[in-house]
Structure 1
Amino acid sequence: MTRSAGHLIVKTLETHGVQRVYAVPGESYLDVLDGLHDSTIETVVCRHEGGAGYMALAEGRLGGTPGIAMVTRGPGAANAMIAVHTAWQDATALVLFVGLIPVADRGRDAFQEFSLEGWFSTTAKRVMVLEDPDRASEMVAEAIHLARSGRPGPVVVGLPEDVLVRTTAAPALTPRPLPSLVPAAFDVDHLMERLALADKPLIVVGGDGWTGDTGERLLDFASSANVPVAADWRAYDAVPHRGPAWAGWLGYGRADTLAARLDEADLLVFIGCGRADVLSDGYTRGLDTETILVLADTSATMHDGRLDRHVFATPSALVDALPVGSAADSPAAGTRGPAWMDALAADQRRFATPAPDGGDAVDRGTAVDLGIAFGELERALPADRVLTYGAGNATLWGHRYLSHTQPNSLVGPRNGAMGLAVPAAVAASLTFPDRQAVAICGDGDFFMNAQELSVCFAHGGTPLVLVVDNGIYGTIVQHQRNHYPGRPSGTAMTNPDFAAWMRSFGGHGEYVSSTEEFAPALERALASGLPALLHLRTDPATMGPSPVAAPSLAAAAVSE
């Protein structure tokens, strides 16, 4: 069978199980768009290349296969760069296809010409350019395999428009199997021995790839071994938030108590993540503690400090190899009782439970009390909800008060990029149409990609968007107050009525100006069956939830 290289690319995406591509169309890859016309793959037309990249990233994190984004040359590729950087730092599988100028036009500063490798080589696992139509399927298969294998990440594929229309008889390849990253028996034995000898061990989970019951089984193992389990920043869905072993999360907005416990631990076991910048409070915590790293990354990228043993395995392979049993017969428990684990679990329960009145005075402020509002949200949302976040202080309320009971239920930029919440929620709603997707973002974050809500009305998604509006770039204002008090500069915003804007699309939108209005508005939004938005007016003086320190650690706690 003979077909164009562009059509072969589409067919290869089909054989790899791709269900959607997120695209901003461009003349440089028209033949691929033509191939998508008759394809089983849904083409999700986005309004901005950054939004398309973010949607693909969200699907890559939630759906098990790399997210696929398609953009055009020059300006389109530039706009998509933010998603590539996010996928790179977050270790999330993503394949970005970029249309390019014809081969014959290279090197003459042709219209929208740029260096694909020059732009992306430092923020992608590999940059490829299609030069031979006979290799079109091979290149797609290689890109998807690379994005998924080892430390997941972004792969960028350039598609010169003249190569795409050339014909080829090459077949559409099927997926290459991933390497089996099973831990060696002696590595598992060593882990059991070190856990048994430790007085205050701590397991830290993170990264992507926590699918099925992997997190639940790890938590059961940890509970039987009296080992607390904490999560890396924005990897909270790795394990369910239940039972005696769940200890909370590290990173921005974390509990002071857990940060102090990290310093106190005598053995750290990282699974799926390393001791990175945010987790360690800027490379200041736990760097000299005995460390076992379980990570499918030979170079241990983004791990800093002591490393006593590197187990080259995926989280699921490690959990498959762990012994199961009760505390009475667990080889990892040693003589350690549950006191250490129970203390961390108690710290987390105290930290994650909103006070009945919304907390102390610094939380309440005026307008909507987010302590109360997010407590209501936790009670109202179904257990299988998918939460998406942008960046900024507004997200800390969700991190603290919203729980996760299932894997593949959180998308948030671990690199702190703004603008992800809305497109990620749209993609989550398309990926899991029977689950409630909820975007949590500040007013600055929301308007960076708010236009992607239009995709819901074209493709059927029904996310709920919560916009926390304090009229400022809150995180930067907080830094200004700390370092340049009394000198606000470049951080104020003027906002429209976001709810009215949502209604203009045909969705459900409400402006919420008081705490009492929130619960009824939330109920109406969830019952609407439409894409919905709640515009929450909040006090600009309230920067985030108040820190809570356990009495036993009050002296050791540090301010958030």
Structure 2
Amino acid sequence: MTMSAGHLIVKTLEAQGVRRVYAVPGESYLDVLDGLHDSAIHTVVTRHEGGAGFMALAEGRLGSIPGVAMVTRGPGAANAFIALHTAWQDATAMVLFVGLIPQSDRGRASFQEFSLDGWFATTTKGVFVLDDEHQAGDLVARALRLAASGRPGPVVIGLPEDVLIRLTDASVPGVLPLPDSAPSTTGINMFTSMLSGAKQPMIVVGGDGWDQATSTALADFAVKAHVPILSDWRAYDIIDHDEPAYAGWLGYGRSERAVAALKESDLLIFLGCTRTDVLSEGYQAALECPTIVVIDDAELVGHAGRLDVHLHTSPASFVPALPDATNVRGSRDGDWSKRLRQEQLSFARPGADGGEGVDLGIAFEALERTLDHDCIITYGAGNATLWGHRYLSHHGPKSLVGPRNGAMGLSVPAAVAAGIMHPGRQVVAICGDGDFFMNAQELAVSFAHGGAPLIVVVDNGIFGTIVDHQQHKYPNRPSGTSMENPDFAQWMQSFGGHGELVTSTEDFEPALERALKSGLPAVLHLKTDPKTMGPGTVAHAAANSAEVFSA
């Protein structure tokens, strides 16, 4: 069947199981947009390319195949760059299509021309340009496979506008299978031997692609084997927080006891992640501890310190191959696991923070009581998220999206995408005032394409994370970290959504109930005390006057 290369791209996406693409339209890929006109694929038109990229990233993390975004050349590609960097550092599968100038215009500084490879080669798994219309389908299938295989990540495909309209008789390719990475018998035997001899082992889980069956099986094994499980930074949804093996997380906002336990361990098992700077307290903790890494990444990107065994496989392949838990328990009596579990339960117990405005310790206790068991929670960057990480529970994989690279502006687009993907399921975004307004415009997409996310905006009028660092390194000298905000509730109401400005703690829970019952996209704008920083931060402990936090 003869069709244009642009239409073949759409047919290939359909065949690969893609259900949504997130796009800002551009004249450089009009033929692809024309193909989408009659397609079953849902084209979600976003308001900014950064929002489109973040939505595709959320799709990749919450779904089973890479998320897909489409943007135009030059400025559009530049705006989408933040999502690529996030997907690269977070190891999340996504594919970005970028419309390009015609082939004949290359190298002439033509309108919006740029070097696709020069921009993206260091932050993607692959950069491709469609220069042969007959390869359109194969290139798309290859890109989706590359994004999802091994260590997941972003792939970029450039689409010259003149190539897209050329006709081809090439057929639609089938789905390319991912590599089979079953664990070896030798590797399992080494794992069994090392775990059997350990007195205080620890499993650290991370990465994307976990499913409920793998999560439950690992938690059952850990309980019987007397091994506590901690998670990577912003991978808290991998293990149900009600599981007795779950003992918290490592990385930003973690408890001091989690760090102490890391240093006390005599065997670290990283499952789906590596020992990065974040997990090792800036390359300072437990670098020489005996270490097993189980990850489907031959290069072990980001791993620091000792490595005794590398099992080149995925959690989904490794967990079913685990030995009988009673055979690897050794002489452990369970006290190690029980102690870490109790310490995490104590750490996750909310308490009042004090200060003016909304007390976030009390507010997040109300959130924890109110939110559905299967709620999806999305986060931006900044200290405002620390209350959520500490006090809000997750009960299964694919219920959290947050930027592990610390990118601001993810919370709202991720929540919008989650609402579109899972209609009827509760979706809540936790963000600071700075993070919220970086991509707040994407809430308009919910009104156009469905979903009713609740956005909780913590407004302290400052860039809290940077203030925390300033107070540590340049005490009592705030500079460039304050901001003035509008009434976000009124702003949301102007869209036709539900918005409430909450200025006192006692008003929060009733406002929360009204927002959830409204059935509309909603914003709760919480005015908080800038002196009350995220739990565990430097500034929270050191603050003794409002002067530190004012402009």
CA offsets 1:153-212 (integer angstroms, 9 cap, x no match):
000000000000000011111210111111012211221221110000000000101113
SS in 2 for 1:136: helix
TM superposition shift of 1:335: 1.4
Match of 1:335 in 2: 331
Corresponding position of 1:58: 58
Does residue 511 in structure 1 map to residue 506 in structure 2?
A: no
Give how far 1:243 is off.
Answer: 2.9
Match of 1:76 in 2: 76
Helix, strand or coil at the partner of 2:258: helix
Q: How does 1:65-464 map to 2 (within 5 A)?
A: 65-324=65-324, 330-355=326-351, 358=352, 363-464=353-454
SS in 2 for 1:384: coil
Aligned to 1:479: 469
Between the aligned partners of 2:378 and 2:449, the Cα distance in structure 1 is: 19
Identity of aligned residues (%): 65
Contact 2:457–2:523 under 8 Å retained in 1: yes
**Structure 2: 5+ residue runs without aligned partners?**
538-551
Q: Deviation per CA, 1:82-103, whole angstroms, max 9, x where unpaired?
A: 0000000000001000000000
> Does the aligned pair in 2 maintain the 1:202–1:228 contact within 8 Å?
yes
Q: Secondary structure at the match of 1:282?
A: coil
Q: Using structure 1 for the length normalisation, give the TM-score.
A: 0.95
Deviation of residue 323 (structure 1)? Answer: 3.4
Please say if residues 354 and 375 of structure 1, whose CA atoms lie closer than 8 Å, have aligned partners that are also in contact. yes
Secondary structure in 1 aligned to 2:248? strand
How many residues are matched?
Answer: 538
Question: Secondary structure of the residue that 2:123 maps to in structure 1?
Answer: coil
SS in 2 for 1:121: helix
Residue type of the alignment partner of 1:47: R
> Which secondary structure does the structure 1 equivalent of 2:372 belong to?
coil
CA distance in 1, matches of 2:184, 2:241: 29
Kept in 1: contact 2:253–2:536 (CA 8 A): no
- Provide the rounded CA distance (Å) in 1 between the counterparts of 2:212 and 2:155: 26
- Report whether the alignment pairs 1:12 with 2:12: yes
Tell me what 1:502 maps to.
Answer: 492
1:3 match: 3
Give CA deviations for 1:256-305 in whole Å, capped at 9, x if unaligned: 00011000000000000000011111111110000000011101001100
Query: What whole-Å deviation, never above 9, does each CA across 1:327-350 have from its counterpart, x for those lacking one?
Result: xxx111011110000010011000
Contact 2:192–2:323 (Cα < 8 Å) also in 1: no
Query: Corresponding residue for 1:556?
Result: none
The separation in 1 between residues aligned to 2:138 and 2:513, in whole angstroms, is 50
In structure 2, give the amino acid aligned to 1:349: L
Given that residues 181 and 312 in structure 1 are in contact (C-alpha distance below 8 angstroms), is that contact kept between their aligned partners in structure 2?
Answer: yes
Please identify, of 199-208 and 178-187, the stretch whose mean Cα deviation from structure 2 is larger: 178-187
- What amino acid is the match of 2:384? A
Q: Displacement, 1:244?
A: 2.4
Structure 1: 4+ residue segments shifted above 3 A: none
Normalised by the length of structure 2, the TM-score is 0.97
Equivalent residues of 1:203, 1:227 under 8 A apart: yes
- Shift in Å, 1:34: 0.4
In structure 1, what is the equivalent of residue 543 of structure 2?
Answer: none
Q: Distance in 2 between matches of 1:193 and 1:532?
A: 53
Give the Cα separation in 1 of the matches to 2:329 and 2:242.
Answer: 20
Task: Point out the more displaced range, 178-187 or 201-210.
Answer: 178-187
SS in 2 for 1:202: strand
Deviations 1:330-388 (A, max 9, x none): 11101111000001001100000113xx2xxxx22111010111111011000100010
Read off the aligned partner of 2:464 and give its amino acid letter: G
Partners of 2:468 and 2:212 in 1: how far apart? 39
Q: CA deviation at 1:546?
A: 4.6
| d(CA) in 2 for partners of 1:414, 1:488 | 26
What is the distance in 1 between the residues matched to 2:122 and 2:130? Answer: 20
Q: Secondary structure at the match of 2:254?
A: coil
Cα pair 2:12 2:173 within 8 Å, conserved: yes
Letter in 2 for 1:465: I
Contact conserved, 1:371 with 1:545, CA < 8 A, in 2? no
CA distance in 2, matches of 1:348, 1:81: 37
> Aligned partners of 1:227 and 1:67: how far apart in 2?
34
